[in-house]
Chain A
Protein backbone atom coordinates (compact mmCIF):
# COMPACT_ATOMS: atom_id res chain seq x y z
CA UNK A 1 0.00 0.00 0.00
CA UNK A 2 1.31 3.42 -0.98
CA UNK A 3 0.84 6.57 1.09
CA UNK A 4 -0.71 9.10 0.88
CA UNK A 5 -4.07 7.55 0.03
CA UNK A 6 -6.36 9.52 -2.28
CA UNK A 7 -9.99 9.21 -1.19
CA UNK A 8 -11.38 12.54 -2.41
CA UNK A 9 -12.85 11.33 -5.69
CA UNK A 10 -15.70 13.86 -5.68
CA UNK A 11 -13.13 16.63 -6.03
CA UNK A 12 -11.41 14.98 -8.94
CA UNK A 13 -10.42 11.52 -10.08
CA UNK A 14 -7.09 10.27 -11.32
CA UNK A 15 -6.77 9.75 -15.04
CA UNK A 16 -7.38 6.14 -16.01
CA UNK A 17 -4.25 4.90 -17.86
CA UNK A 18 -6.51 3.52 -20.60
CA UNK A 19 -7.88 7.03 -21.09
CA UNK A 20 -4.38 8.43 -21.34
CA UNK A 21 -3.52 5.80 -23.96
CA UNK A 22 -6.50 6.85 -26.03
CA UNK A 23 -5.56 10.52 -25.76
CA UNK A 24 -1.86 10.19 -26.48
CA UNK A 25 -1.98 10.16 -30.30
CA UNK A 26 -3.97 13.40 -30.22
CA UNK A 27 -1.41 15.03 -27.95
CA UNK A 28 1.37 14.08 -30.34
CA UNK A 29 1.14 13.22 -34.05
CA UNK A 30 -2.57 13.68 -34.63
CA UNK A 31 -2.70 17.31 -33.62
CA UNK A 32 -5.11 18.54 -36.29
CA UNK A 33 -7.88 21.08 -35.81
CA UNK A 34 -11.25 19.33 -36.01
CA UNK A 35 -12.58 22.34 -37.92
CA UNK A 36 -9.99 21.99 -40.72
CA UNK A 37 -12.05 20.66 -43.60
CA UNK A 38 -9.48 20.31 -46.32
CA UNK A 39 -6.71 18.00 -45.13
CA UNK A 40 -6.23 14.70 -43.41
CA UNK A 41 -5.03 16.25 -40.14
CA UNK A 42 -8.39 17.90 -39.73
CA UNK A 43 -10.33 14.86 -40.86
CA UNK A 44 -8.57 12.64 -38.33
CA UNK A 45 -9.30 15.06 -35.54
CA UNK A 46 -12.92 15.41 -36.59
CA UNK A 47 -13.36 11.66 -36.73
CA UNK A 48 -11.95 11.32 -33.23
CA UNK A 49 -14.29 14.02 -31.93
CA UNK A 50 -17.32 12.43 -33.56
CA UNK A 51 -16.37 9.06 -32.13
CA UNK A 52 -16.18 10.62 -28.65
CA UNK A 53 -19.55 12.26 -29.18
CA UNK A 54 -21.02 8.81 -29.84
CA UNK A 55 -19.34 7.30 -26.78
CA UNK A 56 -20.76 10.03 -24.54
CA UNK A 57 -24.21 9.84 -26.12
CA UNK A 58 -24.29 6.07 -25.66
CA UNK A 59 -23.56 6.32 -21.94
CA UNK A 60 -26.51 8.65 -21.30
CA UNK A 61 -29.00 7.47 -23.92
CA UNK A 62 -28.67 10.55 -26.13
CA UNK A 63 -27.87 10.95 -29.81
CA UNK A 64 -24.41 12.14 -30.79
CA UNK A 65 -25.70 15.40 -32.26
CA UNK A 66 -27.13 16.39 -28.88
CA UNK A 67 -23.69 16.54 -27.25
CA UNK A 68 -21.92 19.93 -27.10
CA UNK A 69 -18.33 20.05 -25.90
CA UNK A 70 -17.28 22.58 -23.26
CA UNK A 71 -14.35 23.17 -20.94
CA UNK A 72 -16.06 21.43 -18.03
CA UNK A 73 -19.16 21.33 -15.89
CA UNK A 74 -18.83 24.93 -14.69
CA UNK A 75 -19.00 26.16 -18.26
CA UNK A 76 -21.77 23.70 -19.05
CA UNK A 77 -23.86 25.00 -16.14
CA UNK A 78 -23.21 28.60 -17.16
CA UNK A 79 -24.17 27.90 -20.75
CA UNK A 80 -27.32 26.00 -19.78
CA UNK A 81 -28.64 28.59 -17.33
CA UNK A 82 -27.61 31.76 -19.13
CA UNK A 83 -28.35 30.29 -22.54
CA UNK A 84 -31.90 29.34 -21.58
CA UNK A 85 -32.55 32.57 -19.70
CA UNK A 86 -31.54 34.58 -22.74
CA UNK A 87 -33.20 32.42 -25.40
CA UNK A 88 -36.51 32.10 -23.58
CA UNK A 89 -36.62 35.60 -22.08
CA UNK A 90 -39.84 36.43 -23.92
CA UNK A 91 -41.57 33.39 -22.52
CA UNK A 92 -40.64 34.06 -18.91
CA UNK A 93 -37.91 35.03 -16.47
CA UNK A 94 -38.36 32.56 -13.64
CA UNK A 95 -35.87 29.75 -12.85
CA UNK A 96 -36.17 27.21 -10.04
CA UNK A 97 -33.11 25.62 -8.47
CA UNK A 98 -32.14 24.22 -5.06
CA UNK A 99 -30.16 25.50 -2.07
CA UNK A 100 -27.66 22.64 -2.25
CA UNK A 101 -26.58 23.09 -5.86
CA UNK A 102 -22.94 23.51 -6.78
CA UNK A 103 -21.58 27.07 -6.82
CA UNK A 104 -21.31 26.86 -10.60
CA UNK A 105 -25.10 26.89 -10.60
CA UNK A 106 -25.75 29.18 -7.62
CA UNK A 107 -23.27 31.86 -8.64
CA UNK A 108 -24.73 31.79 -12.14
CA UNK A 109 -28.30 32.20 -10.92
CA UNK A 110 -27.11 35.03 -8.67
CA UNK A 111 -25.80 36.83 -11.72
CA UNK A 112 -29.03 36.15 -13.60
CA UNK A 113 -30.93 37.77 -10.73
CA UNK A 114 -28.96 40.94 -11.35
CA UNK A 115 -30.11 40.81 -14.96
CA UNK A 116 -33.78 40.65 -14.11
CA UNK A 117 -34.43 36.93 -13.61
CA UNK A 118 -36.42 35.74 -10.65
CA UNK A 119 -34.87 32.68 -9.00
CA UNK A 120 -36.52 30.31 -6.55
CA UNK A 121 -34.10 28.40 -4.32
CA UNK A 122 -35.90 25.31 -3.10
CA UNK A 123 -34.86 24.23 0.38
CA UNK A 124 -34.04 20.56 0.84
CA UNK A 125 -35.43 18.17 3.41
CA UNK A 126 -33.30 16.75 6.19
CA UNK A 127 -32.32 13.85 3.91
CA UNK A 128 -30.96 16.30 1.34
CA UNK A 129 -33.71 15.76 -1.25
CA UNK A 130 -36.01 18.39 -2.72
CA UNK A 131 -39.71 18.20 -1.93
CA UNK A 132 -41.62 17.46 -5.15
CA UNK A 133 -44.79 19.15 -3.94
CA UNK A 134 -42.84 22.27 -3.18
CA UNK A 135 -41.36 22.14 -6.67
CA UNK A 136 -44.84 21.79 -8.20
CA UNK A 137 -46.11 24.76 -6.24
CA UNK A 138 -43.13 26.88 -7.25
CA UNK A 139 -43.72 26.59 -10.98
CA UNK A 140 -45.54 29.63 -12.38
CA UNK A 141 -46.56 30.77 -15.84
CA UNK A 142 -43.26 32.64 -16.00
CA UNK A 143 -41.07 29.61 -15.21
CA UNK A 144 -38.78 28.66 -18.09
CA UNK A 145 -36.31 26.32 -16.40
CA UNK A 146 -35.82 24.00 -13.45
CA UNK A 147 -32.18 23.24 -12.62
CA UNK A 148 -31.61 20.50 -10.07
CA UNK A 149 -28.41 18.50 -9.74
CA UNK A 150 -28.48 14.75 -10.26
CA UNK A 151 -26.06 13.84 -7.45
CA UNK A 152 -24.74 16.18 -4.81
CA UNK A 153 -20.98 16.71 -4.71
CA UNK A 154 -20.75 16.81 -0.92
CA UNK A 155 -23.29 14.35 0.41
CA UNK A 156 -23.79 12.27 -2.74
CA UNK A 157 -27.57 12.19 -2.51
CA UNK A 158 -29.42 11.45 -5.73
CA UNK A 159 -32.30 13.79 -6.44
CA UNK A 160 -35.49 12.24 -7.87
CA UNK A 161 -34.65 13.57 -11.33
CA UNK A 162 -37.07 11.29 -13.19
CA UNK A 163 -40.01 12.56 -11.12
CA UNK A 164 -38.77 16.14 -11.35
CA UNK A 165 -38.56 15.70 -15.12
CA UNK A 166 -42.09 14.37 -15.23
CA UNK A 167 -43.37 17.43 -13.40
CA UNK A 168 -41.43 19.71 -15.76
CA UNK A 169 -42.89 17.93 -18.81
CA UNK A 170 -46.43 18.27 -17.49
CA UNK A 171 -45.93 21.97 -16.96
CA UNK A 172 -44.01 22.67 -20.16
CA UNK A 173 -40.87 23.75 -18.33
CA UNK A 174 -37.33 22.74 -19.34
CA UNK A 175 -35.22 20.63 -16.97
CA UNK A 176 -31.48 21.11 -16.67
CA UNK A 177 -29.51 18.80 -14.42
CA UNK A 178 -25.91 19.14 -13.31
CA UNK A 179 -24.99 15.47 -13.54
CA UNK A 180 -21.27 15.97 -12.98
CA UNK A 181 -21.12 13.54 -10.06
CA UNK A 182 -23.65 11.07 -11.43
CA UNK A 183 -22.69 10.33 -15.03
CA UNK A 184 -20.50 7.26 -15.14
CA UNK A 185 -21.31 6.34 -11.52
CA UNK A 186 -25.02 5.53 -11.68
CA UNK A 187 -27.25 4.82 -14.69
CA UNK A 188 -28.35 8.11 -16.24
CA UNK A 189 -30.66 8.15 -19.27
CA UNK A 190 -31.82 11.47 -20.65
CA UNK A 191 -35.00 9.95 -22.08
CA UNK A 192 -36.06 7.79 -19.14
CA UNK A 193 -35.15 10.62 -16.77
CA UNK A 194 -36.97 13.34 -18.76
CA UNK A 195 -33.86 15.51 -18.97
CA UNK A 196 -33.65 18.37 -21.49
CA UNK A 197 -30.18 19.75 -20.72
CA UNK A 198 -27.41 18.04 -18.77
CA UNK A 199 -23.92 19.06 -17.62
CA UNK A 200 -21.06 16.57 -17.54
CA UNK A 201 -17.37 16.67 -16.70
CA UNK A 202 -14.50 14.37 -17.68
CA UNK A 203 -12.29 14.69 -14.62
CA UNK A 204 -14.93 13.31 -12.26
CA UNK A 205 -14.98 10.02 -14.18
CA UNK A 206 -11.29 9.26 -14.64
CA UNK A 207 -10.92 11.51 -17.66
CA UNK A 208 -8.76 14.62 -18.04
CA UNK A 209 -9.39 18.05 -16.53
CA UNK A 210 -10.51 20.95 -18.70
CA UNK A 211 -13.13 19.17 -20.75
CA UNK A 212 -16.81 18.55 -20.29
CA UNK A 213 -20.02 18.37 -22.24
CA UNK A 214 -23.54 19.69 -22.30
CA UNK A 215 -26.38 17.51 -23.51
CA UNK A 216 -28.94 19.65 -25.33
CA UNK A 217 -32.15 17.89 -26.39
CA UNK A 218 -33.02 18.17 -30.09
CA UNK A 219 -36.48 16.60 -30.12
CA UNK A 220 -39.57 16.70 -27.88
CA UNK A 221 -38.83 19.43 -27.06
CA UNK A 222 -36.13 20.98 -29.23
CA UNK A 223 -34.04 23.06 -26.83
CA UNK A 224 -32.29 26.17 -28.01
CA UNK A 225 -29.59 28.06 -26.16
CA UNK A 226 -28.14 31.48 -26.77
CA UNK A 227 -24.38 31.02 -27.02
CA UNK A 228 -22.35 32.78 -24.37
CA UNK A 229 -19.11 33.07 -26.31
CA UNK A 230 -18.71 34.52 -29.77
CA UNK A 231 -16.41 32.97 -32.32
CA UNK A 232 -16.43 30.52 -35.17
CA UNK A 233 -19.86 29.09 -34.46
CA UNK A 234 -18.60 25.64 -33.49
CA UNK A 235 -20.85 23.08 -31.83
CA UNK A 236 -24.04 23.99 -33.71
CA UNK A 237 -23.41 27.63 -32.89
CA UNK A 238 -23.79 27.06 -29.18
CA UNK A 239 -20.16 27.03 -28.14
CA UNK A 240 -17.46 28.63 -30.22
CA UNK A 241 -13.82 27.75 -29.79
CA UNK A 242 -11.41 25.26 -31.29
CA UNK A 243 -12.24 21.84 -29.93
CA UNK A 244 -9.95 20.34 -27.30
CA UNK A 245 -9.44 17.17 -29.32
CA UNK A 246 -7.26 15.16 -26.88
CA UNK A 247 -9.51 16.15 -23.97
CA UNK A 248 -12.63 15.21 -25.92
CA UNK A 249 -11.11 11.86 -26.89
CA UNK A 250 -10.35 11.33 -23.19
CA UNK A 251 -13.89 12.20 -22.16
CA UNK A 252 -15.24 9.78 -24.76
CA UNK A 253 -12.98 6.97 -23.62
CA UNK A 254 -13.80 7.67 -19.97
CA UNK A 255 -17.51 7.36 -20.79
CA UNK A 256 -16.97 4.13 -22.67
CA UNK A 257 -15.10 2.61 -19.72
CA UNK A 258 -17.71 3.78 -17.22
CA UNK A 259 -20.46 2.30 -19.35
CA UNK A 260 -18.71 -1.04 -19.64
CA UNK A 261 -17.71 -1.29 -15.97
CA UNK A 262 -20.38 0.61 -14.05
CA UNK A 263 -22.39 -2.35 -12.84
CA UNK A 264 -19.39 -4.14 -11.41
CA UNK A 265 -17.58 -1.06 -10.22
CA UNK A 266 -20.52 0.40 -8.36
CA UNK A 267 -21.04 -2.91 -6.57
CA UNK A 268 -17.40 -2.96 -5.49
CA UNK A 269 -17.39 0.70 -4.39
CA UNK A 270 -20.62 0.29 -2.47
CA UNK A 271 -19.14 -2.66 -0.57
CA UNK A 272 -16.02 -0.64 0.28
CA UNK A 273 -18.09 2.38 1.33
CA UNK A 274 -20.33 0.24 3.52
CA UNK A 275 -17.30 -1.44 5.07
CA UNK A 276 -15.76 1.94 5.89
CA UNK A 277 -18.97 3.07 7.52
CA UNK A 278 -19.39 -0.18 9.48
CA UNK A 279 -15.81 -0.06 10.78
CA UNK A 280 -16.15 3.54 11.93
CA UNK A 281 -19.50 2.90 13.58
CA UNK A 282 -18.14 -0.15 15.38
CA UNK A 283 -15.36 1.89 16.99
CA UNK A 284 -16.86 5.34 17.53
CA UNK A 285 -20.04 6.73 19.05
CA UNK A 286 -21.90 9.90 18.08
CA UNK A 287 -21.44 9.69 14.32
CA UNK A 288 -23.96 11.38 12.08
CA UNK A 289 -24.44 10.48 8.43
CA UNK A 290 -25.25 13.56 6.39
CA UNK A 291 -27.93 12.97 3.77
CA UNK A 292 -29.97 9.88 2.97
CA UNK A 293 -28.14 6.57 2.54
CA UNK A 294 -31.04 5.21 0.52
CA UNK A 295 -30.70 7.49 -2.52
CA UNK A 296 -26.99 8.03 -2.76
CA UNK A 297 -23.94 7.56 -4.94
CA UNK A 298 -22.40 4.18 -4.11
CA UNK A 299 -18.97 5.70 -3.41
CA UNK A 300 -19.93 8.59 -1.13
CA UNK A 301 -19.84 8.75 2.63
CA UNK A 302 -20.28 12.04 4.47
CA UNK A 303 -20.03 11.69 8.22
CA UNK A 304 -19.91 14.16 11.07
CA UNK A 305 -17.72 13.12 13.96
CA UNK A 306 -19.47 15.07 16.69
CA UNK A 307 -17.32 17.19 19.05
CA UNK A 308 -14.31 16.99 16.73
CA UNK A 309 -13.50 19.86 14.39
CA UNK A 310 -13.00 18.82 10.76
CA UNK A 311 -9.77 20.60 9.98
CA UNK A 312 -8.05 19.22 13.06
CA UNK A 313 -9.18 15.76 12.01
CA UNK A 314 -7.77 16.24 8.51
CA UNK A 315 -4.52 17.37 10.13
CA UNK A 316 -4.33 14.12 12.06
CA UNK A 317 -4.99 11.94 9.03
CA UNK A 318 -2.50 13.78 6.87
CA UNK A 319 -1.60 10.72 4.82
CA UNK A 320 -5.22 10.38 3.70
CA UNK A 321 -6.70 12.87 1.24
CA UNK A 322 -10.36 13.56 2.06
CA UNK A 323 -12.24 16.81 2.57
CA UNK A 324 -14.31 18.51 5.23
CA UNK A 325 -17.28 20.86 5.39
CA UNK A 326 -15.56 22.68 8.22
CA UNK A 327 -15.29 26.45 7.90
CA UNK A 328 -11.56 26.27 8.51
CA UNK A 329 -11.04 24.32 5.29
CA UNK A 330 -13.07 26.64 3.08
CA UNK A 331 -11.85 29.78 1.37
CA UNK A 332 -14.80 31.74 2.76
CA UNK A 333 -14.32 30.58 6.38
CA UNK A 334 -17.99 29.56 6.33
CA UNK A 335 -19.03 25.99 7.06
CA UNK A 336 -20.57 23.99 4.22
CA UNK A 337 -23.80 25.57 2.96
CA UNK A 338 -24.91 22.14 1.78
CA UNK A 339 -24.77 20.68 5.28
CA UNK A 340 -26.35 23.81 6.72
CA UNK A 341 -29.21 23.38 4.26
CA UNK A 342 -29.96 19.99 5.82
CA UNK A 343 -30.82 21.90 8.98
CA UNK A 344 -28.47 19.95 11.21
CA UNK A 345 -26.70 22.96 12.69
CA UNK A 346 -23.32 24.53 12.06
CA UNK A 347 -21.56 22.31 14.59
CA UNK A 348 -22.38 19.25 12.48
CA UNK A 349 -20.96 20.96 9.41
CA UNK A 350 -17.74 21.82 11.27
CA UNK A 351 -17.31 18.16 12.18
CA UNK A 352 -17.96 16.63 8.77
CA UNK A 353 -15.69 14.58 6.57
CA UNK A 354 -16.44 13.60 2.98
CA UNK A 355 -15.03 10.30 1.79
CA UNK A 356 -15.15 9.71 -1.97
CA UNK A 357 -14.02 6.21 -2.81
CA UNK A 358 -12.81 5.68 -6.35
CA UNK A 359 -11.86 3.19 -9.01
CA UNK A 360 -8.30 2.84 -7.77
CA UNK A 361 -8.96 2.50 -4.03
CA UNK A 362 -8.39 -0.92 -2.52
CA UNK A 363 -9.88 -2.73 0.45
CA UNK A 364 -6.54 -2.45 2.22
CA UNK A 365 -6.71 1.32 1.85
CA UNK A 366 -10.24 1.43 3.24
CA UNK A 367 -9.09 -0.59 6.26
CA UNK A 368 -6.19 1.77 6.80
CA UNK A 369 -8.38 4.86 6.53
CA UNK A 370 -10.95 3.45 8.96
CA UNK A 371 -8.27 2.62 11.50
CA UNK A 372 -6.50 5.96 11.13
CA UNK A 373 -9.68 8.04 11.37
CA UNK A 374 -10.80 6.08 14.43
CA UNK A 375 -7.48 6.64 16.15
CA UNK A 376 -7.41 10.39 15.46
CA UNK A 377 -11.08 10.95 16.40
CA UNK A 378 -10.47 9.19 19.71
CA UNK A 379 -7.43 11.34 20.36
CA UNK A 380 -9.24 14.57 19.48
CA UNK A 381 -12.23 13.66 21.61
CA UNK A 382 -9.84 13.26 24.56
CA UNK A 383 -8.93 16.86 23.79
CA UNK A 384 -12.49 18.06 23.23
CA UNK A 385 -14.18 20.04 26.01
CA UNK A 386 -17.50 19.38 24.26
CA UNK A 387 -17.13 15.61 24.36
CA UNK A 388 -16.20 15.89 28.05
CA UNK A 389 -19.25 18.03 28.79
CA UNK A 390 -21.58 15.66 26.96
CA UNK A 391 -20.14 12.70 28.84
CA UNK A 392 -20.82 14.64 32.08
CA UNK A 393 -24.46 14.86 30.99
CA UNK A 394 -24.44 18.55 30.02
CA UNK A 395 -26.86 19.57 27.25
CA UNK A 396 -24.71 21.66 24.91
CA UNK A 397 -27.72 23.41 23.44
CA UNK A 398 -28.46 24.91 26.88
CA UNK A 399 -24.96 26.29 27.45
CA UNK A 400 -24.47 30.05 27.20
CA UNK A 401 -21.65 30.24 24.62
CA UNK A 402 -19.56 33.31 24.03
CA UNK A 403 -19.92 33.59 20.26
CA UNK A 404 -17.17 35.48 18.58
Chain B
Protein backbone atom coordinates (compact mmCIF):
# COMPACT_ATOMS: atom_id res chain seq x y z
CA UNK B 1 0.00 0.00 0.00
CA UNK B 2 1.29 3.45 -0.82
CA UNK B 3 1.24 6.01 1.95
CA UNK B 4 0.48 9.69 1.42
CA UNK B 5 3.36 12.14 1.84
CA UNK B 6 1.73 13.55 4.96
CA UNK B 7 1.44 10.12 6.59
CA UNK B 8 5.08 9.46 5.74
CA UNK B 9 6.10 12.83 7.15
CA UNK B 10 4.31 12.23 10.47
CA UNK B 11 5.67 8.68 10.62
CA UNK B 12 9.24 9.77 9.95
CA UNK B 13 9.04 12.91 12.11
CA UNK B 14 6.33 12.32 14.66
CA UNK B 15 5.35 15.53 16.49
CA UNK B 16 4.95 15.76 20.25
CA UNK B 17 6.00 12.26 21.18
CA UNK B 18 6.16 11.70 24.91
CA UNK B 19 4.26 11.74 28.15
CA UNK B 20 2.95 14.34 30.56
CA UNK B 21 2.59 13.81 34.29
CA UNK B 22 -0.86 12.25 34.50
CA UNK B 23 -1.15 13.00 38.21
CA UNK B 24 -1.30 16.74 37.55
CA UNK B 25 -4.83 18.21 37.89
CA UNK B 26 -4.56 20.08 34.59
CA UNK B 27 -3.42 17.05 32.56
CA UNK B 28 -6.00 14.87 30.84
CA UNK B 29 -5.03 11.39 29.62
CA UNK B 30 -6.85 9.23 27.10
CA UNK B 31 -5.82 5.66 26.26
CA UNK B 32 -7.89 3.99 23.57
CA UNK B 33 -7.65 0.78 21.56
CA UNK B 34 -6.33 -2.63 22.57
CA UNK B 35 -3.12 -4.56 21.90
CA UNK B 36 -4.99 -7.53 20.41
CA UNK B 37 -6.64 -5.20 17.91
CA UNK B 38 -3.24 -3.96 16.79
CA UNK B 39 -3.53 -0.35 17.92
CA UNK B 40 -3.36 1.56 21.18
CA UNK B 41 -3.18 5.36 21.39
CA UNK B 42 -2.25 7.35 24.44
CA UNK B 43 -2.99 11.04 24.08
CA UNK B 44 -2.45 13.66 26.76
CA UNK B 45 -3.37 17.34 27.02
CA UNK B 46 -2.17 19.94 29.46
CA UNK B 47 -4.73 22.71 29.91
CA UNK B 48 -4.23 26.25 31.17
CA UNK B 49 -6.88 26.35 33.85
CA UNK B 50 -7.35 30.10 33.59
CA UNK B 51 -7.89 30.34 29.85
CA UNK B 52 -9.13 26.79 29.09
CA UNK B 53 -6.54 26.60 26.30
CA UNK B 54 -4.54 23.47 25.62
CA UNK B 55 -0.90 24.43 26.12
CA UNK B 56 0.72 21.10 25.54
CA UNK B 57 -0.24 17.82 23.89
CA UNK B 58 1.71 14.56 23.76
CA UNK B 59 1.10 11.14 22.30
CA UNK B 60 2.43 7.63 22.14
CA UNK B 61 0.93 5.13 19.71
CA UNK B 62 1.26 1.40 19.10
CA UNK B 63 -0.17 0.85 15.66
CA UNK B 64 0.34 1.14 11.95
CA UNK B 65 1.83 4.17 10.23
CA UNK B 66 -1.58 5.74 9.70
CA UNK B 67 -2.42 5.37 13.40
CA UNK B 68 0.86 7.02 14.33
CA UNK B 69 0.26 9.82 11.82
CA UNK B 70 -3.35 10.36 12.99
CA UNK B 71 -2.33 10.79 16.61
CA UNK B 72 0.70 12.90 15.75
CA UNK B 73 -1.53 15.22 13.70
CA UNK B 74 -4.07 15.32 16.52
CA UNK B 75 -1.48 16.65 18.96
CA UNK B 76 -0.53 19.37 16.48
CA UNK B 77 -4.14 20.45 16.10
CA UNK B 78 -4.84 20.35 19.83
CA UNK B 79 -2.18 22.83 20.86
CA UNK B 80 -3.64 26.32 21.16
CA UNK B 81 -7.25 25.16 20.98
CA UNK B 82 -9.73 25.56 23.82
CA UNK B 83 -11.08 22.42 25.37
CA UNK B 84 -14.40 22.84 23.58
CA UNK B 85 -12.76 23.50 20.23
CA UNK B 86 -10.76 20.30 20.73
CA UNK B 87 -13.95 18.32 21.25
CA UNK B 88 -15.21 19.55 17.89
CA UNK B 89 -12.36 17.86 15.95
CA UNK B 90 -13.86 15.23 13.68
CA UNK B 91 -12.17 12.08 12.42
CA UNK B 92 -13.18 13.02 8.86
CA UNK B 93 -10.92 16.08 9.08
CA UNK B 94 -8.01 13.78 9.94
CA UNK B 95 -8.93 11.49 7.04
CA UNK B 96 -8.92 14.45 4.64
CA UNK B 97 -5.71 16.00 5.94
CA UNK B 98 -3.76 12.71 5.75
CA UNK B 99 -5.55 11.33 2.65
CA UNK B 100 -6.23 8.09 4.50
CA UNK B 101 -7.60 5.23 2.38
CA UNK B 102 -10.88 3.58 3.47
CA UNK B 103 -9.13 0.69 5.27
CA UNK B 104 -7.35 3.23 7.49
CA UNK B 105 -10.36 5.30 8.53
CA UNK B 106 -10.51 3.41 11.83
CA UNK B 107 -7.14 5.01 12.69
CA UNK B 108 -8.73 8.46 12.49
CA UNK B 109 -11.72 7.26 14.54
CA UNK B 110 -9.33 6.06 17.19
CA UNK B 111 -7.55 9.44 17.20
CA UNK B 112 -10.87 11.25 17.67
CA UNK B 113 -11.74 8.84 20.48
CA UNK B 114 -8.35 9.53 22.07
CA UNK B 115 -8.93 13.29 21.95
CA UNK B 116 -12.36 12.91 23.55
CA UNK B 117 -11.01 10.52 26.18
CA UNK B 118 -8.19 12.91 27.12
CA UNK B 119 -10.49 15.94 27.32
CA UNK B 120 -13.08 13.97 29.30
CA UNK B 121 -10.39 12.93 31.73
CA UNK B 122 -9.34 16.54 32.16
CA UNK B 123 -12.93 17.75 32.56
CA UNK B 124 -13.65 15.04 35.09
CA UNK B 125 -10.66 16.18 37.08
CA UNK B 126 -11.83 19.79 36.76
CA UNK B 127 -15.33 18.76 37.87
CA UNK B 128 -17.29 19.07 34.67
CA UNK B 129 -18.24 16.20 32.36
CA UNK B 130 -17.86 16.49 28.59
CA UNK B 131 -20.26 14.79 26.17
CA UNK B 132 -19.70 11.15 25.22
CA UNK B 133 -17.65 10.15 22.20
CA UNK B 134 -19.46 10.84 18.98
CA UNK B 135 -16.84 9.75 16.47
CA UNK B 136 -18.33 8.69 13.16
CA UNK B 137 -17.55 5.04 12.75
CA UNK B 138 -16.45 4.23 9.25
Contact = CB atoms under 8 A, between A and B. Distances in A.
B11 A384 contact: no
A21 interface: no
B7 to A, nearest CB: 9
Interface residue tally on A, bucketed by range: 20 to 34
A385 B38 contact: no
Contacts of A326: 38, 64
Contacts of A387: 62
B60 A384 contact: yes
A95 interface: no
Contacts of A307: 62
Contacts of A350: 35-36, 38
A182 to B, nearest CB: 31
A327 interface: yes
Interface stretch (B26-34, B73-81, B83-91, B119-127): B26-34
Interface string A303-314: 000011101100
Contacts, number: 86
A379 to B, nearest CB: 9
Interface stretch (A123-131, A235-243, A261-269, A396-404): A396-404
A385 B60 contact: yes
A341 interface: no
Contact of B61 (A315, A316, A327, A385): A385
Contacts of A72: none
Interface string B37-61: 1111110000000000000000011
A77 to B, nearest CB: 28
A326 B39 CA distance: 11
Nearest to B137: A404
Nearest to B39: A309
A402 B63 contact: no
A326 B63 CA distance: 10
A261 B127 CA distance: 73
A384 B62 contact: yes
Contacts of A386: 35, 40, 62
B110 interface: yes
A315 B38 contact: no
Contact of A312 (B11, B17, B41, B42): B11
A116 interface: no
B65 A401 contact: no
A383 B72 CA distance: 10
Contacts of B42: 385, 388
A345 interface: yes
A16 interface: no
A311 B32 CA distance: 19
Contacts of B34: 401-404
B68 to A, nearest CB: 6
A384 to B, nearest CB: 5
A385 B110 CA distance: 14
Contacts of A404: 32-34, 37, 106, 109-110, 113
B32 A402 contact: yes
A347 interface: yes
10 contacts: A309-B39, A312-B64, A312-B65, A347-B38, A383-B17, A384-B61, A402-B33, A403-B37, A404-B33, A404-B113
Interface of B: 3, 11, 14, 17, 19, 31-42, 60-65, 67-68, 103, 106, 109-110, 113
Given A383-B60, A402-B34, 14 more contacts: A309-B62, A309-B67, A312-B65, A312-B68, A315-B65, A328-B64, A350-B35, A383-B61, A384-B62, A386-B35, A386-B40, A388-B19, A401-B36, A404-B106
3 closest Cβ pairs, A-B complex: A401-B34, A346-B36, A385-B42
